[in-house]
Amino acid sequence: MEVSITIEPAIADIDPPAHMEADEAWRWLDWFTRQTWDDLPTELQNWRDNIVRIAGSLFGDAMLVTHMAGINILLGRAISSRQTMPFWPANCSINVIETGDRWRIVASAASCP
């Protein structure tokens, strides 16, 4: 079985604004987790939309390795949630999402806040 691997930087985890010190960045990330996408700047909404576009463009089985924000973008898309963090994925969780005309969560190791 031949498998090809592509590293896609666009699905990397969210970065706080570059000018922030570590403690300020943690506060920013905490703030981010309590927002809706409609409340966020266009650049973050575009980042989210790009991750959804990439995942939706994959054909057949695929594996995406990302962090909490990326996982939440995809799980949130599957349940039509506007929250930035509708789930709190377990560490090293495996989440299975079907994409296409109708996205749906097949399996998830996550808990709702």
Mean pLDDT of 62-90: 90
Q: Read off the tokens for 16.
A: 């706080």
pLDDT confidence of residue 72: 92
What predicted TM-score, i.e. pTM, was given to this entire model?
0.85
Number of neighbours of residue 70 by Cβ within 10 angstroms:
21
DSSP, residue by residue, 37-100: GGGS-HHHHHHHHHHHHHHHT--SS------HHHHHHHHHHHHT--BS-S-EEPTT---EEE-S
The string of pLDDT tens digits covering residues 12-27 is 888 888 888 999 999 9
The DSSP secondary-structure symbol of 73 reads H
Confidence category of residue 111, pLDDT binned at 50, 70, 90? low
Confidence category of residue 81, pLDDT binned at 50, 70, 90? very high
